[in-house]
A and B are shown apart, each in its own frame.
Chain A
Amino acid sequence: MTSLVLRQVRVEYSGCAVVSSVDESLAAGEWLCLIGPNGAGKSSLLRAVAGLVKYSGEIAFDGVALDALSARELARKVAFVPQNPLLPDDMSVSEYVMLGRNPYISTFGRESVRDRGVVTALVEELSLSVYARRPLGTLSGGERQRVVIARALAQEAPVLLLDEPTSALDLGHQQHALELVDQLRRRRNLVVVSAMHDLTLAGLYSDRLLLLHQGVGVARGRAQDVLRSETLDEFYGVSARVIHEGDGTVVVVPQRSHGES
């Protein structure tokens, strides 16, 4: 069943199109990875879905156009993890995760027993219980990423958007974070759209890739089909070796242009 649909989505900044004619449709539980060089429009497309930039065309979830929703209603449908989230140093982990419940708390209300239950359960599910009272300023990079994901999940939104979720993490924590997202989307049947720079990881975790170049989708499909050295050469301007493993994994290895082989 199709749930998130993008039709002819176009984003402009002062008259200049940074995303144009993007069409996509995603089923519940599907993970789409946006790849492309810097400035290709990955973040802008994510921000359009999150309702943070104006766009033309149509973005709909389960047949409902997202731009017809109020900010609060939209936040119950779409959760967004920005590339560099702002974490107030002296806010505690549980307070921060509680911010994700904002779309369910009336403007002048306070959190209900259910809101606290959701936060408590999430903090436990993401093994953050020991940190619950710790101020955010004392957390390491990997812990911060988990906390931000917990906040996004507290929105109980069926769509999860991640902008470069692993850019600040070391190899081990990159893997942990992506494994976590993968488990969560299976458990909760989430639509996940992420922008990623690491092509190997992008191919490894997502179901499909969409390669953006100057705001236009130029290649789409499974990792084996999109990640090819000609394609990378054309759109990233890099020379890279692409290794197809027997299990379908695609490994992208950069090559030195003046190297011997």
Chain B
Amino acid sequence: MTTSRAFDEARGSRVRWWVLGGVSVVVVGLLGLALGPAGPAWWRVPLAVLDRLPLVSIDSGITDAQWNIVWQIRAPRVVLAALIGAMLSLAGASYQGVFRNPLVDPYLLGVAAGAGLGATVAFSVARGTTSTWPVDPVPLAAFAGGVVAVALTYTVGTAFGRSRSATTLVLAGVAVTSLATAVQTFVLQRNNDVVRQVYSWILGRLTSATWGDVRLVIPYVLVSSIILLMYRRVIDVLRVGDDEARALGVNVNRVRVVVVLAATLGTSAAVAVSGLIGFVGIIVPHAIRLLMGSSNRVVLPLSMFAGSAFLIAADIPGRLLTSPSETPIGVVTAFFGAPFFLFLLRTREARQ
């Protein structure tokens, strides 16, 4: 009796949290649309958004020019931040699940360093002329760099030793990361003039987000997220360890390969358009675990919502604090995220 009731209650509370997660993304999203150095009074923006919905007509008193600021400048930023926050958090949570290691995320297998190298090469070769190219080569180079780095990590990490152990793979990732960083430093030394560009790219940028960026990243984020979410129950079975999961009928190696590939693809795409926004992939899933427990069936979807809301929110102070110039979002995520995480950690310790 109590057992089946326990299942029902677990499901009930999960639905409640999902609704809450969805609502918070919408609320923070509206804030992201409403706040900024230029544009209409903040309270008019939600009205204008409502006005755009079908069957609703409200006079929000916003001019077309103001609406353009909201729709062409702020909206792509908000949507891109939502997508990237969700992707980085989900990918981090999935990595932590399949490696059973709370400190890994896709950056660890070389995505970050590879993408950084790709972007550096693109900046060095193109020399600031990228704006005249038909396609911006930086995201493409970053994407290619990230994927190549992880492919290299995977080949090296699984080629030696018959056992495809998770530790070997992580160590290979560390080696590939150092290699890529070394090459990047070398290239930068020979091309001093692009240091500033590379540096600001590395710190993350949502400033210049356009609907084109959103279109570029959305297919990868969708495919990757769907795959990862579909695997969330199986990733949860892995919590009992590789051997026992295998004895329970899980094809552990296949699950790990698929999850790593999907998370890497999504992360590479995210990094390609937004630069290296650190911290999100580790902190957001951990915050969810501290609040909700470690079940991956809960942590994965809720990390997406929380990651979305967190990155949209983190993008707001960046545009207001040092207006008219912008604080890079990577700085904001770390500056606000780290104390918040310490606070969570402390309250949790206190409760126990």
Contact = CB atoms under 8 A, between A and B. Distances in A.
Interface residues of B, number: 26
A91 interface: yes
A109 to B, nearest CB: 8
Contacts of B1: 120, 129
Given A52-B246, A155-B248, A86 B241 contact: yes
Given A75-B248, A102-B250, A133 B2 contact: yes
Main secondary structure of the interface of B (DSSP, over half): helix
A82 interface: yes
B6 A105 contact: no
B294 interface: yes
Given A82-B243, A88-B240, A108 B230 contact: yes
A67 interface: no
Nearest to B232: A108
B240 A133 contact: no
A50 B1 CA distance: 33
A28 to B, nearest CB: 21
Contact of A85 (B4, B244, B295): B244
Contacts of A102: 234, 237, 248-250
Contact of B6 (A70, A78, A133): A133
Contacts of A90: 293-294
A91 B239 contact: yes
A86 B240 contact: yes
B251 interface: yes
A257 interface: no
B249 A71 contact: yes
Contact of B3 (A75, A76, A88, A124): A124
A193 B220 CA distance: 49
Contacts of A72: 249
A103 B248 contact: yes
Interface stretch (A92-100, A182-190, A203-211, A215-223): A92-100
Given A82-B244, A85-B244, A129 B249 contact: no
Nearest to B233: A110
A79 B247 CA distance: 7
A129 B5 CA distance: 11
A115 B7 CA distance: 11
Interface of B: 1-4, 6-7, 10, 230-231, 233-234, 237, 239-241, 243-244, 246-251, 293-295
Given A52-B243, A80-B247, A103-B248, 20 more contacts: A50-B247, A51-B247, A71-B249, A78-B247, A82-B243, A82-B244, A88-B239, A88-B240, A94-B3, A99-B248, A100-B248, A103-B249, A107-B230, A108-B230, A109-B233, A116-B4, A120-B3, A124-B3, A129-B2, A129-B3
